[in-house]
Chain A
Amino acid sequence: MHNLTIKQLSDGLRQKKFSSVELTQSALARVEKFNPRLNAFITVTAERALEHARRADARLARGEGGPLTGVPIAHKDIFCAAEVRTTCGSRMLDRFVSPYDATVVAKLQAAGVVSVGKTNMDEFAMGSSNETSYYGPVRNPWDETRVPGGSSGGSAAAVAGRVVPAATGTDTGGSIRQPAALSGIVGLKPTYGRVSRYGMIAFASSLDQAGVLTQTAEDAALLLGAMAGLDPRDSTSVDEPVPDYAAELNKPLQGLKIGLLKEFFDGLEPGNAQAVQAALEVFRKLGASTQELSLPSLPLSVSTYYVVAPAECSSNLSRFDGVRFGHRCEEPRDLLDLYKRSRGEGFGAEVKRRIMTGTYVLSAGYYDAYYLKAQKVRQLIADDFRRAFESVDVLIGPTTPTPAFELGAKVDDPITMYLNDIYTIGANMAGLPALSTPCGFVDGLPVGLQIVGPVFSEARLLNVAHAYQQETEWHTKIPHGYE
C-alpha cells in the first residue's frame, strides 16, 4: 500500500480495505527500513502517529471525517508541532520542543491527517541540496550518491522513495519545486499569503510560503484545500476564498494559452530541453497553444534574491540569542560573548554566510544601494510577470537547469549552488504560485516541468498538471529498490 496516492488511500480507508493504523504502521516500517539510507527524517513520532491514527479510525468508523482523515504524511522540520522537537535542521534548535502548533500542522491535524515525523532540510531552509543540515545530507532515492535538492530535501526523498505518500514543504526561492524536480515528484508552491506562515520558522518573510510535495496533482489539490485560508495569526495571510481545488482538476485544456519564456530555454541542457519540449507537445495535443515571451528583468531575479533573502534572514534570525531558547555556549564571559559564541556555535556556515550578507546589505551607507535597489528590481520582475499574464494563462518551462548533482559537488562554491534556483526564484519574487511535475529522465535522473500562473491560480496550475498526468506516466515512476 506504500505506493498508493493520497486519493487511493482515502478511498481505501473509506472502503475498509485497510485502517489508518495499518497505513501508519506501514509508513513507520518504511521509515525504519529506508531512513538509514536516505536520512530523510530528523524526528520520528511513532507513538503520537499511532494515537492519531487510532483516533482517525474511530472517526471513520462513525462515518465521520473528510478525504484526508487517516492518511499518513510527514512535515518538514520547519513547522512547529506542539510537544514535538522542531529543529529546522539546525544545531541551534537541536533540543527545541515547540510549545505550540503551526497553523499548517493544526489544520492538517484537524482534517485527520496523521504525521509520522519531521523531515530533514537545509539548515533554516537555506540551501538547494540539503547538505547544510546539521543532521547530515539527505540522499536521492534515484541515485544515493546524489542530492535530492533542497531545502525541502527530506520531504522530497521521503515521497520519492514512497516512505510517506506526501509531505509538507516550504519554498522561499524554489525549496519545494527544485527538490520535487530532482526527486521525480510533484511540488506546489502556492501564492504568497495563500497558506499561513504562523509557526513556520521564518527565513525571508516576504518570500516564504508553505506548500506540498506529492505524487500527483490531485493529491496536492486535496492537501492544499486543507492547508489554505486566512489566518488571523499571520498578518500577511490573504483573505481570499479557498476554492475546491479537486473540483477543477478535470477541466479540458482546450484553448489554454501557454507562454514559453525565452530566458528559460536559452542554454538549457539537451536532455532537459528534450523532456520539456516533449511535454509541450502533449499540451498542444490537448488543445493548448504556445507562444514565446520574454521577461527582460528575469535574469536579475537571482541577484535580487541574494539581497532580499539574506537581509530578511539576518533580521529574522536575530531572535536566536542564546537567552530565551536555542543553543547557548558554555561559560559566557559577558553578554556579548554569550550572543556571539551561542550564535557562532549554533549556526552552520551557510546560515552565518547569509546572516552576514544580510547584515552587510542592510548596514548604514549600503541600505539604499542594495536593499532598496533590490526591492525596486523586484517590482520590475513582478511587473514583467503581470504583463506576461495579460497574454497567456500559464508559463511553462523547466524547473531546474540540470538534474540532481552529486553530493559534495557544489558545497564549496555558494554562487554555483545558488544558481540551481535560476528558474524558480522568479515566482517567489512576484509572489506567484508555481508547480513542478515530473516530465522525463536524463541518464536515469528525473526532470521537472515548471508551471507558473498569476496570483491565486493554483486551481488552474493543478488542472494543467493533472491533465498532463492523465497523458503521461512520469509521475508514477518509483526508484529502483523502493517499489
Chain B
Amino acid sequence: MYDYARFFQLPEAFGPVATPMSLTREDLEKIAHLARLQISAEELPAYVESLSSIIDFVEQLNGADTTDVLPMAHPLSGQTQRLRADEVTENNARELHQQNAPRVEAGLYLVPKVIE
C-alpha cells in the first residue's frame, strides 16, 4: 500500500479515521439547493460524509504561508485573455441548435409557467 501520508506530510487526522463532520445535513441541503441539484433523502448522508472529508482534506491549505502572494490570474505568467472586436462572427443557426432542445415551439424554448 502506498504511504500517501509521506507525500503529504499529513497530520494524523487524515485518513479513514472518523473525524467530526465539518458539514451538517442542513448545510448539504442548502448547498444542493444552491447548485440546483435534487438529492434524495437516502443519498444525503453519503454526500455529507464525502463533502466533509473533502473539506477537511483541503483545510491543509491553511498551513501555507501566502502573505504577499497574489492569487494566480493565469497559469502562464504574463498572459492575459485576448479581447476581440464586438462584431457578428457566427451565422444564425437556431434551428440546428434547437434540435438538441428537449422542448421547443415556434423557435422558443418551452419551460413550465414562471409568471402566474
B81 within 8 A of A: yes
A306 within 8 A of B: yes
Q: Are A352 and B64 closer than 8 Å at their CB atoms?
A: no
- Residues on A with C-beta less than 8 A from B79 are 193, 236, 238
Interface string of B47-91 (1 = CB under 8 A from A): 100110111011111111010011110111101011110000000
- Residues on A with C-beta less than 8 A from B20 are none
- Choose one: B7, B43, B76, B113; the contact of A299 (CB below 8 Å): B7
Question: Which of the 9-residue segments A17-25, A130-138, A341-349 touches chain B?
Answer: A341-349
Q: Using a CB-CB cutoff of 8 Å, which residues 71-116 of chain B contact chain A?
A: 71-72, 74-77, 79, 81-84, 93, 96-97, 99-103, 109, 111-114
Q: Are B66 and A299 closer than 8 Å at their CB atoms?
A: no
User: Could you write out 19 A-B pairs with CB less than 8 Å apart?
Assistant: A268-B2, A297-B64, A299-B7, A303-B59, A323-B109, A324-B100, A338-B112, A340-B38, A343-B35, A347-B37, A349-B43, A356-B28, A356-B31, A357-B54, A357-B55, A359-B35, A376-B72, A378-B72, A455-B76
Q: Are B76 and A352 closer than 8 Å at their CB atoms?
A: no
**Which residue of B has the minimal Cβ distance to A375?**
B71
A235 within 8 A of B: yes
A370 within 8 A of B: yes
- Residues on B with C-beta less than 8 A from A303 are 57-61
A408 within 8 A of B: no
Given contacts A300-B61, A323-B111, A355-B37, contact A328 B102 (CB under 8 A): yes
Interface string of A373-409 (1 = CB under 8 A from B): 1111111101000100000000000000110000000
- Residues on A with C-beta less than 8 A from B71 are 372, 375-376, 378-379
- Choose one: B28, B72, B96, B101; the contact of A323 (CB below 8 Å): B101
Q: How far is the CA of A328 from the CA of B102 in the complex (A)?
A: 6
Given contacts A297-B64, A300-B61, contact A401 B2 (CB under 8 A): yes
Q: Are B51 and A97 closer than 8 Å at their CB atoms?
A: no
Q: Are A235 and B82 closer than 8 Å at their CB atoms?
A: yes
**Which residue of A has the minimal Cβ distance to B38?**
A344
- Residues on B with C-beta less than 8 A from A235 are 81-84
B42 within 8 A of A: no
A304 within 8 A of B: yes
Q: Are B103 and A328 closer than 8 Å at their CB atoms?
A: yes
- Residues on B with C-beta less than 8 A from A401 are 2, 4, 7
A414 within 8 A of B: yes
- Residues on A with C-beta less than 8 A from B28 are 356
Q: Are A306 and B54 closer than 8 Å at their CB atoms?
A: yes
A-side residues, CB < 8 A to B, are: 95-97, 99, 191-193, 206-207, 232, 235-236, 238, 263, 266-269, 297, 299-300, 302-304, 306-307, 314, 318, 321-328, 332-341, 343-345, 347, 349, 352-353, 355-357, 359-361, 363, 370, 372-380, 382, 386, 401-402, 413-415, 419, 422, 429-431, 455
Q: Are A236 and B72 closer than 8 Å at their CB atoms?
A: no
Q: Are B31 and A345 closer than 8 Å at their CB atoms?
A: no
Q: Are A353 and B51 closer than 8 Å at their CB atoms?
A: yes
Q: Are B75 and A430 closer than 8 Å at their CB atoms?
A: yes
Q: B18 → chain A, closest Cβ, in Å? A: 13
Q: A456 → chain B, closest Cβ, in Å? A: 9
- Residues on A with C-beta less than 8 A from B35 are 314, 343, 352, 355-356, 359
Q: A146 → chain B, closest Cβ, in Å? A: 16
Q: Are A302 and B53 closer than 8 Å at their CB atoms?
A: no
**Which residue of A has the minimal Cβ distance to B69?**
A376
Main secondary structure of the interface of A (DSSP, over half): helix
- Choose one: A268, A269, A299, A324; the contact of B109 (CB below 8 Å): A324
Q: Are B37 and A343 closer than 8 Å at their CB atoms?
A: yes
Q: B97 → chain A, closest Cβ, in Å? A: 6
Q: Are B103 and A402 closer than 8 Å at their CB atoms?
A: no
Q: Are B4 and A419 closer than 8 Å at their CB atoms?
A: yes
Q: A173 → chain B, closest Cβ, in Å? A: 13
Q: Are B2 and A402 closer than 8 Å at their CB atoms?
A: yes
Q: A34 → chain B, closest Cβ, in Å? A: 30
- Residues on B with C-beta less than 8 A from A269 are 2
- Residues on B with C-beta less than 8 A from A332 are 112
- Choose one: A297, A353, A372, A415; the contact of B57 (CB below 8 Å): A415
Q: Are B51 and A357 closer than 8 Å at their CB atoms?
A: yes
Q: Are A380 and B102 closer than 8 Å at their CB atoms?
A: no
Q: Are A413 and B16 closer than 8 Å at their CB atoms?
A: yes
Q: Are B99 and A352 closer than 8 Å at their CB atoms?
A: no
Q: Are B72 and A99 closer than 8 Å at their CB atoms?
A: no
Q: B65 → chain A, closest Cβ, in Å? A: 9
Q: Are A340 and B37 closer than 8 Å at their CB atoms?
A: yes
- Residues on A with C-beta less than 8 A from B27 are 360
Q: Are A299 and B8 closer than 8 Å at their CB atoms?
A: yes
Q: Are A414 and B54 closer than 8 Å at their CB atoms?
A: yes
Q: Are B36 and A340 closer than 8 Å at their CB atoms?
A: yes
Q: Are B2 and A356 closer than 8 Å at their CB atoms?
A: no
Q: A303 → chain B, closest Cβ, in Å? A: 4
- Residues on A with C-beta less than 8 A from B93 are 99
Q: Are B36 and A339 closer than 8 Å at their CB atoms?
A: yes
Q: How far is the CA of A361 from the CA of B31 in the complex (A)?
A: 10
